[in-house]
Amino acid sequence: MIALMTLLAQQSTPPGGPSAAAGFLPLAMIGALVVFMLMTARSQKRREKRERETMYAKLAKNDRVLTIGGVVATVHAIKDNEVILKVDESTNTKMTFLKTSIQRILSDEPAGERK
């Protein structure tokens, strides 16, 4: 992009001086680039939101999940926007989290993909 703007700036100008269009072209290109970047970021956010909502919809009892705090647990029950997770099998410890605190479902991933 910068190389293209440099080439445009180095073009020969007419004897009367640079034209107004030659000075406007780099600004128009920068403006188009900014608009493109904003549109790309917006569509990426929409896609991520759609993926999260799909994950929350398919969340089911006995799924192993990872929370945003790093807690790995099993889903015990699901309410409207809350999830009750069983954290420890031996002591039957349960914790309540918001659905939005679930980062991903681990039971759908093969063992090789876990990080």
Express each pLDDT in 25-46 by its tens digit: 888 889 999 999 998 888 899 9
pLDDT for position 61: 92
Per-residue pLDDT, averaged over 93-101, amounts to 93
pTM of the model: 0.59
- Assign a CATH topology to domain 60-110: SH3 type barrels. (2.30.30)
Q: What is the pLDDT of residues 11-30, one digit of tens each?
A: 555 555 556 666 788 888 89
How far apart CA 71 and CA 44 sit, in angstroms, is: 27
Per-residue pLDDT, averaged over 95-103, amounts to 93
pLDDT for position 7: 58
For 84-88, which contacts have Cβ atoms below 8 Å and span 24 or more sequence positions?
A: none
pLDDT for position 52: 92
Identify which has the larger pLDDT, 7 or 91: 91
For 73-77, which contacts have Cβ atoms below 8 Å and span 24 or more sequence positions?
A: none
Q: Which of 87, 88, 109, 107 is nearest to 97 (CA)?
A: 87
